[in-house]
Amino acid sequence: MDVHSKPQASARFSQKRHAFLLDTAMTIFVSRGLGSATIDEIAQVAGISKATIYRRYANKDELFEAAIIQTTEPLAQAFKEIELDPATPEASLTRAADTIYYLMRQPRQLEVFRAIVAEASRLPLLVQRSRLQMLATLTQSLTSYFQQLVAAGVMVSPYPEQSAVNFIILTGGGMRPLLGVGNDGSSSDEQRRREADLDLFLRGTGIRVSHA
């Protein structure tokens, strides 16, 4: 018998249990709101003790933030895989726009966005930090890419990081997904809106737009 098997199995179980805790917490936060959700309820549904939760998190806000990070990890991973080629900015940004649009309309991600927005007035610093964490990978990648385009004279932007934020907002549909408008992305009107949003960004930053 491998003497390491038991510790390894225990570690795997602990990781799975922790992931389940965060998933459970996010579900409750989404359905009840951060203010109404309780550690008691989360512990009961997750099948663990409150003491176990408090060993990891000092309070409910920390648990909320951790749950957001876990839920949005697939976003960060998918954003890492977006290919941004300085030689083909229009094609690269079109692919990036399609990816952002698709990912931000996944039901679970929309639930998280709404949960964050709901707490904006009560916990502005927590909400700001959570929002930044959600989009940090994508913002960093786009900022670096835009800096390359500016240096090459392909793009006009005095503030590449702000351009990255603007790109995400525009290509993600702005407030439309949060309002339930065009969430399936299949209507011809929504497709035209998407194309117009991307065209607005490309023209506004001096990137040439080709039309057939």
pLDDT in tens, 84-102: 999 999 999 999 999 988 8
CATH of residue 101: 1.10.357.10
Is the pLDDT at 185 greater than 80? The verdict is no
Residue 82 lies in a domain: yes
What is the C-alpha to C-alpha distance for residues 157 and 106, in angstroms, rounded to an integer?
A: 31
Structure tokens at 136: 């940090």
Q: Give the range of the structural domain holding residue 37, as residue numbers without chain letter.
A: 5-204
User: Which whole number is the average pLDDT over 166-170?
Assistant: 90
What is the C-alpha to C-alpha distance for residues 53 and 22, in angstroms, rounded to an integer?
A: 10
Which candidate, 176, 154, 71, places its Cα nearest to that of 115?
A: 71
Which candidate, 133, 134, 159, places its Cα nearest to that of 146?
A: 159
Residue 6: which pLDDT band, with cuts at 50, 70 and 90?
very low
Please state the domain count of the chain.
Answer: 1
pLDDT in tens, 51-87: 999 999 999 999 998 998 888 888 778 888 888 999 9
- What are φ and ψ of residue 2, in 5° steps? -70, 125
Residue 182's pLDDT is what?
A: 55
Residue 212 lies in a domain: no
